[in-house]
Structures are given as structure tokens and as C-alpha cells.
A and B are shown apart, each in its own frame.
Chain A
Amino acid sequence: MRWILALALIAVASPARADDEDEDDAPEVERMRFAERGDNLVVTANLTRIFDAAAYENLDKGFASTVVIRMWVYKVGSGEPVSFQLLQRRCVFDLWDEVYELRLDGPGGRVTRKVKFRADALKMLTSLDEDPIARAADIPYEQHYVLAIEAELNPVSEQTRAEVRRWLTQGTGGGLDRGGSFFGSFVSVFVNPKVAAADRVIRIQSQPFYRPKPAPAKP
């Protein structure tokens, strides 16, 4: 009976803590610039802070650096996105020619560039410069929306992360203890490095924006 009571207490206490974490993960609000270009709504923003000093230095190491940017447009007060865009940007330093080669994938297709300076490479990886976020027709006039952005630096796929920790659950040849090895859970003590899902992740949200109704044409 006592431990049934303990179960109940745990179940009651736990959601409160989860709510606290939700608040911690809430995206920061940043000012962004929105405009209409042709049929599209576009955004101008900067995600440079996803690179810390070490990540910036790593751009020179010769390995590819990858930035994945996901963007959702929500109506204010709604949890359902009306539009989604996925951008993937890669940069690799050519050790021999000493140039940065960039590959930018987005809704408009693939663009490749070469730049001489690291700062330029960083800008191309992290700047949103009138990038489309939605079809203008999907955003009704005079209604308020927000743009949510999640950017990851060098994300690691789930399969790769599973591979890194695979050895934790592989049996090691014994067999006497079926209860532990086959049916049971495991508890182990060892030095236990862990791979994060990405080198860095930032989540930001724009200020609310809306499409002003065009002025009526003058007769």
C-alpha cells in the first residue's frame, strides 16, 4: 500500500517539473525583418551565435561544417504551423587552395559558392537574407503570425548516436544470468562518454508580424 502511495506521489509530482523544463526550452524572441517578394513571404535574420569560438576555428580544419535550419510559421495563439522550410548549409575548407567551399540547399534548390575569407563563410552559413518562409497566399491579410526557427550545428543522425552507444547493450558472452541479460534491465558502472544530438542548437522566435492589406488602387 505504501509503495502504491509512493507511485501516486511520483506521478503527481513529475508533471510539475516537466512544465518547468518546458519553460527553460522556450525560444528566445528576436526581432526579424519580413517582406513580400513576388509570391513569397521572406525573412531577414542572423543566426551567427550558433557558432562559438571553437566552432568558428573548426571552419579551418578541413572537415565539413553543417548548419541545418528549420523554420515554422505559426498563427499567433495556434500550435499548428501553416508553413515549414528546411535549409541545409555546408562549408568545407580547401586546405590546398585555401578557399571555403559552400553548398546551400533550400526550397529554391542548390547553390554552391567559394569565398576567400572565413568571416564570409560564416555569414553565408548563418544569415537569412530574404529567404522565403511561406507563400504569401497562405498568410491572410491583417492576421498575426510568428516565425519559429531551430538551427543545429553539425547535427548527428539518430543512427550514428545509436551506433556510438551500441556497445552499452551488447551482451558479452555470458549466459548464466538470463534474468539480467535477456529479460531484465541493465545497470552498469563505467566511464561513459555521450554524444550530443548536435554541436549546438538554438531556438528563436520572431516578434509577431502581419501582412498589411494593400492600399486600394487610386482611380
Chain B
Amino acid sequence: MRWLVVVLVLFAGVAHADEGGADFGPVLTIERIDLHGNHDTADRVILAALPIQVGDVIRAGDPRLTTARFKVLGLGFFRDVALELRRGSERGKIIIDIAVEERGTVVLNRLWFGTSATSPWWFGADVDQRNFLGLGIGVGGGAVYAGATDIVGARDQWAAELRVFDSSIRGSRWGVMASFTMVQASEPYRVAGPYDGTAHADFNAMSYRRIGDRVAATYALSPLSRIIIGARGELVHAELPAAPMRMLGDGTFVPVPLDLKPGDSRVVSASVGYDKDTRPDPALPREGWHFASSVELGSSVLGGSYDFATILARYDRWWPVARTQAIAVRLSGGVVLGDAPRFDRIYAGDIDRMVTPRALGLVVAPNTSKELLGTGLGGVQYGDAGGSAVVEWSNQLWRGGKHIYGGDIFVGGGLWALDGGTGVPIDLVLDAGLRVDTDIGIFELSIANALGRVPR
């Protein structure tokens, strides 16, 4: 009997209120929808987001009426949305008043800054205007600049990206994204010294330039999932050293793979991806899951100079435990097959949070993280197969503030692996920090993030 009660309780806890009601309340005909407060956003953008339209005959209890507010909020353009019904011109007809409170739609997506052994400083930002001219279209871009040291062959690096996107064309399930990118890279590679050495004489730098476009179409399979079909074309120009070699500790020399074709080359690829995110709160998750995957094929058949395939996936799942805590399992990884260009291979900073990540594709620091398990993974920069598996515990510090909605403390640890051709490619990854959700954004302050910004 008790088990039955527990099962019932669990079931009732998971199943929120039944959102039925399409057969409840008086029958109403929507005569008009009046919008108020949208000074910048076009009417059609709001109307396209609504699950109802003029002429619909519905019951007053229809969940589409209740959820209309959330559909408009889901555009991400408004601070608040309020709906009211009033009588129409004749019995049974209604007018819906929708009052919106617009908000700034400029989003600072990323901020890059730091200092390392191979770049005395780097700085950059990535910004979107998500509601360009009130049309519901997003326009954005990012740029990063990294200064050079006196490493042989090194020069300043920079990268920039411009993009335009519409996640729901005229309220449909289809979306589109396009971006234009330019990268002037001067990437350091180790030629001598221990894996964690930071002497400038231990490095040389190679330069290459990338200019490219990406286009993608998205289709929403459901409100929480979508597929992404994309294509990419890039022109690459690389100035490579004739025979780059690294001197090991015993005085022997081994070749350094640079994974780029000298002179001019092209990357042409097609890709398909899938993304589903069921987390009610992606900023401070306690339940739900997020899955994302992508397969990209680059081929000389398409006109490129590189024949390769990349398969990437990540799966994060959270379970609430006790009243304020959650446990998450976070898995991510991928494989690269064939002759992929350097920048499409898996980079240590992609999967080990304790390694400085790439900034708009630029490598701004060598991997000098410690070998915690002593498995020879220290110093590995690139690999063709890699991933990480992390278990994370988080605890709510607070919830419900007016401007600071909540904060979680988290501690995570697990393993990461990257097949760089040396030793057993596995080591520990650890992180801890604070996530804060506020009305001006989401912030994550973590030890690993800090480690990635300072020389070690």
C-alpha cells in the first residue's frame, strides 16, 4: 500500500497540473488581437508566436489561451507580457489585449580575456542583437585580439565573426542561420622543453588565415528539439615551416604534425545536427536533460582540400536530490576521421575545463595543465578522439530574489581523454564554483575558468 502511495506521489509530482481544458468554459470567437507596448517589435513577430489567431473559435479554458503569454515570452524580446480578454462587438466574440514590456535584446554571449606563456594578453567579446530593427531577426558578431610574444614566427592573432539568424521564420518551425568568419592565426607549437615548460624558446609559431561562410537551416521537431542542417566553405592560407620538429628530453627529435596543407587550401563540408533540451531552467538546472549531436563531412568531392568527418555529441542530465541539491552526469566527446584540418580536430581545451579554451578558434595558450594521473596526457593539444565524463553535485544557495533569481554552488569531477598519440590518454578533470542567474544575465565563476586565464 505504501509503495502504491509513493508511486502515486512521484507520478503526481512529475505530472504538473493537467493543462487540459479545451472543453471547459464558454465558447468564444476571437474577433481581434490588440497589441500594446511593442514600440520596437513588429506586430507580426508577436502575432506569429501566438498559438491562436483572429477567427479561432475556442473555449475560455483552452490551454492555448493560458500558454499564449509564455509563447510570447519565449521570443526572448520582452521583460513581461500580460493578456486580458474583453467583450467583442457581439455576443460570444472577444478581443484579446496583449501588453508587452520590451527589454533590451542585446546579449553579451562571451567575453574573452587572459594572459598566458604564449600570449601576453588577449581580449574579445561576442555580442548579439536578438531583435534587429524589431523584425525578430538576430544580428551579431564577435572579435578577439591576442598579442604576440617573442616566440619565433609569432605575430599578433585576431579573429572575427559576423552572423545573422532567425530561429523561427514568420513563426514557422523553420529557422536559418548564416555567419561569415575571418581568422588570422599565429599558433604556437612546442619544439623543446618539458610538456609544462613555459620558456619562449620552447615554442615556435605557425601562421594561417581562414576566411569562410557557414549557413544552416533549422527545423523544430518539437518546442524543445530541433535538427540543424548546415554547410561550410572556407579558404585557408597557411605559411608552414619546412620540417617542424620537437626535441624530447632524451635529445631525440620527433616531427610535429601541423595538420594543414601549405599555401592555399579549401574546407568544404556539410553537416547535420540534433539538439533537444528538456531542462526547465537551463541556467541553474536541477532536472531534465540536454542532448546535442553533430556530424560533419568534409570532402574533396564537394570541392574541398580535406577529406574528413567529425562526430560530436554531448549529453547532460540532472537529477534533483533532497530539497536543494542536484546530481548531474555530463558526458561529451567526439571522433575525427580522416584528414581534418588542424582547427577541426578536438582540442584539449574543448573537453578539459582546466585548459584554456580556444577564443573564436584561436589558440591563445599552450596546454600546461598538470598530469594528475601521470598518464602522459600532459601537454597534448590536439587529438582525433576525445571526451569527458563528469559527475557534478550542485546545491542551491538561494532562490527567488527579485533581481538575482538564484545561485548554485557546484563541485564536479571526472575523467577526460584525448588520443594525442602518447601514453594512456586519460586524466582527471576537476572544477568547482558558483553559478548565478540574474536579471542581467547568467554568470559562472569557477576555479577551472580562472585557471584558464592565468599563466601556469
A interface residues with partner B (beta carbon < 8 Å): 3-4, 6-7, 10-11, 14-15, 17-18, 21-22, 25, 61-64, 66, 68, 70, 72, 80-84, 86, 88, 90, 92-97, 101, 103, 105, 138, 152, 154-180, 182-195, 197
Cα distance A25–B396 in the bound complex, in angstroms:
13
Q: In the complex, what distance in Å separates the CA atom of A212 from the CA atom of B441?
A: 57
12 A-B pairs in the complex with CB atoms less than 8 angstroms apart: A3-B451, A11-B411, A15-B395, A95-B86, A156-B70, A159-B278, A160-B70, A167-B167, A172-B109, A173-B178, A175-B179, A194-B437
Supposing A152-B17, A177-B359, A183-B351 touch, asked if A81 and B411 sit within 8 A by C-beta, the answer is: no
**Alpha-carbon gap, A62 to B86, bound state (A):** 8
Contact call B70/A158, Cβ cutoff below 8 A: no
Residue in B353, B395, B447 whose CB lies within 8 Å of A17: B395
A115 to chain B, nearest CB (A): 14
The smallest beta-carbon distance between B223 and chain A, in angstroms, is: 5
Nearest neighbor of A62 in chain B, beta-carbon distance: B85
Contacts of A90 in B (CB 8 A): 21, 24, 61
- Distance A61 CA – B165 CA, assembled complex (angstroms): 37
- B224 & A162 in contact (Cβ 8 Å cutoff): yes
Contact B61 A103, beta carbon cutoff 8 Å = yes
**B277 within 8 Å of A (CB atoms):** yes
Pick the contact of B224: A96, A163, A185, A186 (CB < 8 A): A163
Stretch from B32-40, B147-155, B236-244, B317-325 that touches the partner? B317-325
Q: Which of B230-275 contact A (CB under 8 A)?
A: 232, 275
Which of A15, A80, A167, A195 lies at the interface centre, i.e. has the most chain B CB atoms within 10 A of its CB?
A: A167
Instruction: With A94-B60, A183-B351, A192-B439 as known contacts, state yes or no: A6 contacts B432, CB within 8 Å.
Output: yes
The segment from B5-13, B189-197, B375-383 found at the interface with A is B5-13
Given contacts A11-B411, A155-B17, contact A163 B70 (CB under 8 A): yes
Q: Which among B83, B91, B441 has the greatest number of chain A C-beta atoms within 10 A?
A: B441
Which residue from chain B places its CB closest to the CB of A112 in the assembled complex?
B24
- Chain B residue at smallest Cβ distance from A185: B444
Does B358 contact A179, Cβ atoms closer than 8 Å?
A: yes
Specify which chain B residues have a CB less than 8 angstroms from the CB of A10 in the assembled complex: 409, 411, 432
Residues from chain B with Cβ under 8 Å of A4 in the complex: 430
CB of B80 within 8 Å of the partner chain: yes
Q: Hey, which chain A residues are within 8 Å of B80, CB to CB?
A: 193
Interface of A is mostly: mixed
A183 to B314, CA, bound (A): 7
Quote the shortest CB–CB distance from B279 to chain A (angstroms).
6
Q: Is the CB of A64 within 8 A of B70?
A: no
Most central of A14, A94, A152 by chain B CB within 10 Å: A14
Query: Which residue in chain B gives the minimum CB-CB distance to A165?
Result: B282
Give chain B interface residues in 98-113, CB to chain A under 8 Å.
Answer: 103-111
Q: Given A22-B323, A63-B65, is A96 in contact with B26 using a C-beta cutoff of 8 Å?
A: yes
Q: For residue A162, which residue of chain B has the nearest CB?
A: B280
Q: Is the CB of A92 within 8 A of B25?
A: yes
Which of chain B's residues have a CB closer than 8 A to the CB of A163? 70-71, 74, 223-224
| Chain A residue nearest to B62 in the complex (CB) | A64
Task: Please name all residues of chain A whose beta carbon is closer than 8 Å to the beta carbon of B308 when the two chains form the complex.
Answer: none
Distance between B36 CB and nearest chain A CB, rounded to angstroms: 15
Which of these, A138, A179, A185, A190, contacts B108 with CB under 8 Å?
Answer: A190
Asked if B360 is at the interface (CB within 8 A of a chain A CB), the reply is yes
Which of A81, A154, A173 makes the CB contact (< 8 A) with B163? A173
Which of B60, B140, B290 has the most CB atoms of chain A within a 10 A radius of its CB?
B60
Residue contact A64 to B60, C-beta cutoff 8 Å: yes
Q: A62-B85, A186-B442 are in contact. Are A193 and B5 (CB under 8 A)?
A: no
**Cβ-defined contact, B294 with A169, below 8 A:** no
Cα–Cα distance between A174 and B142 once the two chains are bound (Å): 9
Which B residues between 64 and 81 are near A, CB-CB below 8 angstroms?
65-67, 70-71, 73-76, 78-80
Q: Is B24 in contact with A101, judged by CB distance below 8 angstroms?
A: yes
Provide the residues of chain A in CB contact with B2, threshold 8 Å: 80-82
Q: Is B94 an interface residue (CB 8 A)?
A: yes
B357 an interface residue at 8 Å Cβ cutoff?
Answer: yes
Instruction: Kindly provide the distance from the CB of A95 to the nearest chain B CB, expressed in whole angstroms.
Output: 5
- Bound-state CA distance A70–B332 (Å) is 39
B216 at the interface (CB under 8 A from A): yes
CB contacts (< 8 Å) of B350 on chain A: these are 178-179, 182-184
Contact of B55 with A by CB under 8 A: no
B278 contacts A193, C-beta separation under 8 Å: no
- Indicate if the CB atoms of B294 and A182 lie closer than 8 Å: yes
A6, B447: Cβ atoms closer than 8 Å: yes
Q: A17-B395, A80-B2, A94-B25 are in contact. Are A179 and B447 (CB under 8 A)?
A: no
